[in-house]
């Protein structure tokens, strides 16, 4: 028999996770208004499924996975909005940083859905590989495989952009 939802239990979860869910959505989407909607939707889903969420091995990872999935879905539907701010690898000029962020965000959006999920959860949400595996219901080995393949695709995409940008033609 399921235990009834206790409002104080969910309230504590909400208070602990609200800012983190909002910050994650903002980092992924680059738009505070949309991020507020995404984090509110994720928290509403957690409340609606609280019995499942509270018994999950890592409820925080469950919520952040939902935030990541909703953000990915939003980006797929609305490609006209700002690209998310990703941390660049120390470019020389500020305009290089902006271009790198846009290029990297586009490359991430070209990955398979599963690769996007593991990249977002591991590198943008900063979950451990163990937490990503638990949240996605896969083994750590699968997470490592998806991350490796995603990094390879991202590397190829960025090399191709660099080759095109430098005018080198193979």
Q: What is the mean pLDDT of each run of 10 residues along the chain (170 residues)?
A: 65 94 84 92 95 89 87 75 45 54 76 88 84 87 95 85 60
Give me the count of residues in the chain. Answer: 170
Q: Considering all CA atoms of the chain, what is the largest pairwise distance in Å, rounded to the nearest integer?
A: 66
pLDDT value at position 94? 46
pLDDT value at position 93? 47
User: What range defines the domain where residue 28 resides?
Assistant: 1-82
- Report the CATH number at residue 18: 1.10.1740
pLDDT value at position 144? 96
Same domain membership, residue 63 and residue 107: no
pLDDT value at position 100? 65
CB within 8 Å of 52: residues ≥ 6 apart:
none
Last residue of a domain, one of 82, 99, 133: 82
Cα separation, 20 vs 165, whole angstroms: 37
Domain total in the chain: 2
Same domain membership, residue 4 and residue 73: yes
pLDDT value at position 167? 57
pLDDT value at position 82? 47
Stated pTM of the model = 0.59
Torsion of CA 118, 121, 122, 127, to 10 degrees: -140
């Amino acid at each position: 028999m399921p235990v009834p939802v206790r409002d104080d239990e969910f309230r504590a979860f909400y208070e602990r996770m609200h800012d983190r869910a909002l910050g994650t959505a903002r980092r992924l989407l680059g738009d505070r208004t949309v991020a507020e909607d995404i984090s509110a939707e994720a928290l509403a889903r957690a409340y609606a499924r609280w019995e499942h969420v509270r018994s999950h091995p890592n409820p925080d990872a469950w919520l952040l996975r939902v935030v990541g999935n909703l953000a990915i879905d939003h980006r797929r539907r609305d490609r006209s909005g700002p690209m998310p701010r990703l941390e660049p690898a120390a470019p020389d000029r500020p305009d290089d940083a902006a271009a790198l962020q846009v290029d990297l965000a586009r490359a991430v959006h070209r990955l398979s859905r599963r690769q996007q999920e593991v990249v977002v959860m591991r590198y943008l949400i900063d979950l451990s590989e163990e937490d990503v595996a638990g949240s996605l219901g896969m083994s750590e080995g699968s997470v490592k495989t998806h991350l490796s393949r995603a990094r390879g695709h991202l590397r190829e995409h960025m090399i191709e952009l660099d080759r095109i940008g430098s005018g080198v033609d193979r």
